């Protein structure tokens, strides 16, 4: 094992193979994280498909039901910072985080299956289940990032994509066959699957040593070759990053973009059924929104490797705005616009999924690797606000304005987010050109 430094001062620990450290290739860790993320994503992306059965069985209003998901998102996104803080200080290992996450996720799904009191389900599903999913999300993404420092954006995009598209089969099945009578047994099965698919892969989620780097990649050549997405000028703590202009701008963009994406994922089933689309069309639209949303993350990361993160984020958000316009058109046209509905769901999913891994990569490239877990956790916490706006308050907006007006508002929010990416500038850079000063007369 040797330590080398690149031109930017970053340290790399080179020479150790994953088989020497954990007895397996790093691809095994990637597969374990992928499976766990695919399992826990159903707590978020499957909720909208279960809303008709929940309201029918429990007598809850649409607004009451969707606030459960809004609070779930708050706790899922909010779990990231304390976990990152403890893990950076060596007080939490990925395995213990995964065990806790599995248990809490199981409690959350069981609460939704058998609870009829809104407060009980809020505590069980939203608070405990949301926290559990946040623990799994944080452990999986950070562990994969440590094992793939040379391809971090692509591999983190792959596992966060599984968080979305892993739910697609269950979403389609729920639209077709879930009702008030079958809800308890269906969710019991889901709870067992989620716990097993987190516990078993979680047992194999091990981390490399600090600053580990794959032996077959020259880190100095890698750093020099990254012209589209160069590394950070220096390492920032979370507190230092908050004092820059870049992090608050990133947070605000992710807040708005996340609100629109969460709105689409939560309401697509209720919306499609409300305009008179048949069961097959509703299932297709919901499945495409979730499936394309997950798959688009890897595509967006690949494009950003060549075109740059900020430029790609802007394009992704413009695509998301187009999706909102198409869904608004479908809402205004009613059941006659099934094709527009399906197309709109596909385009909205394409735009609504791609920006999450891009922001994860951008946080590391702007603020460095040393405190990457806590800095990204601060950025990702914007999703909590997005849940309150895009699910909780959006439910009231749908009741007051209808879906057409709400989708048009979402399109404007996406356009504003795309425009705001122009303010994303790497912190710490200094001008290389001297200021021009006039020569004194005489």
Name the region of 368 (left: φ>0; alpha: ψ -120 to 50; beta: rest). left
The list of the chain residues with pLDDT below 50 reads 431-442
Three-state SS at 363: helix
Q: Cα torsion at 253, 350, 72, 144 (round to 10°)?
A: -90
Query: Which of 167, 236, 171, 246 has the alpha carbon at shortest distance from 374?
Result: 236
The predicted-structure confidence for 372-407, as pLDDT tens digits, reads as follows: 888 988 999 999 999 999 999 999 999 999 999 999
Report the C-alpha gap between 266 and 73 in whole angstroms. 11
Instruction: Confirm if 142 and 84 have CB atoms less than 8 A apart.
Output: yes
How far lies 10's CA from each of 87, 115, 229, in Å?
21, 51, 15
Cα distance between residue 384 and residue 406, in whole Å: 20
Quick one: 18-212+228-423 is in which CATH superfamily? Answer: MFS general substrate transporter like domains (1.20.1250.20)
Nearest Cα to Cα of residue 398 among 122, 123, 70, 96: 70
Query: Domain segments of the chain: what residues?
Result: 18-212+228-423
Phi, psi torsion values for 2, nearest 5 degrees: -130, 155
Write out the two tokens for 85. Answer: 């803080």
Give the integer Cα–Cα distance in Å for 111 and 104.
11
Q: How many residues does the chain have?
A: 442
* pLDDT digits 0-9 by tens, 296-339: 988 998 898 888 899 999 999 999 999 999 999 999 987 668 99
DSSP symbols for 235-268: ---HHHHHTSSHHHHHHHHHHHHHHHHHHHHHHH
C-beta separation of 78 from 134 below 8 A: yes
pLDDT for 263: 97
Q: Provide the whole-model pTM.
A: 0.91
Query: Residue 33 in contact with residue 143, Cβ under 8 Å?
Result: yes
């Amino acid at each position: 094992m040797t330590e080398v430094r690149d031109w930017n001062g970053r340290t790399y620990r080179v020479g150790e193979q994953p088989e020497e450290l954990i007895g397996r290739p790093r691809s095994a860790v990637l597969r374990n994280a992928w499976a766990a993320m695919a399992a826990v994503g159903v707590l978020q992306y499957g909720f909208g498909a279960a809303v008709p059965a929940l309201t029918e069985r429990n007598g809850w209003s649409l607004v009451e039901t969707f606030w459960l998901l809004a609070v779930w998102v708050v706790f899922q996104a909010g779990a990231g910072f304390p976990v990152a803080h403890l893990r950076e200080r060596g007080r939490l290992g990925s395995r213990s985080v995964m065990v806790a996450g599995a248990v809490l996720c199981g409690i959350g799904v069981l609460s939704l299956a058998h609870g009829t009191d809104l407060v009980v389900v809020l505590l069980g599903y939203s608070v405990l289940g949301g926290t559990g999913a946040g623990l799994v999300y944080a452990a999986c993404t950070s562990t994969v990032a440590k094992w793939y420092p040379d391809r971090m954006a692509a591999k983190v995009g792959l596992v966060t994509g599984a968080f979305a598209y892993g739910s697609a089969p269950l979403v389609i099945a729920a639209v077709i066959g879930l009702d008030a009578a079958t809800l308890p047994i269906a969710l019991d099965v889901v709870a067992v699957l989620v716990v097993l698919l987190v516990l078993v892969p979680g047992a194999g989620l091990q981390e490399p040593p600090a600053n580990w780097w794959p032996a077959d990649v020259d880190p100095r050549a890698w750093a020099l070759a990254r012209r589209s997405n160069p590394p950070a000028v220096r390492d920032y703590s979370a507190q230092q990053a908050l004092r820059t202009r870049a992090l608050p701008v990133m947070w605000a963009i992710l807040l708005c973009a996340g609100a629109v994406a969460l709105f689409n994922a939560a309401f697509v089933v209720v919306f499609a059924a409300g305009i008179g689309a048949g069961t097959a069309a509703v299932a297709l639209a919901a499945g495409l929104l979730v499936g394309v949303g997950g798959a688009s993350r890897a595509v967006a990361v690949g494009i950003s490797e060549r075109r740059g993160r900020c430029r790609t984020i802007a394009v992704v958000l413009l695509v998301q705005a187009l999706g909102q316009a198409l869904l608004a058109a479908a809402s205004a046209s009613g059941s006659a616009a099934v094709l527009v509905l399906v197309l709109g769901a596909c385009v909205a999913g394409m735009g609504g999924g791609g920006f999450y891994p891009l922001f994860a990569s951008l946080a590391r490239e702007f603020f460095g690797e040393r405190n990457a877990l806590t800095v990204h956790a601060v950025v990702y916490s914007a999703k909590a606000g997005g849940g309150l706006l895009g699910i909780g308050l959006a439910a009231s907006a749908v009741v007051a304005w209808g879906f057409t007006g709400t989708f048009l508002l979402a399109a404007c929010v996406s356009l504003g987010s795309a425009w705001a990416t122009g303010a994303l500038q790497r912190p710490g850079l200094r001008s290389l050109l001297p200021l021009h000063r006039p020569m004194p007369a005489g």
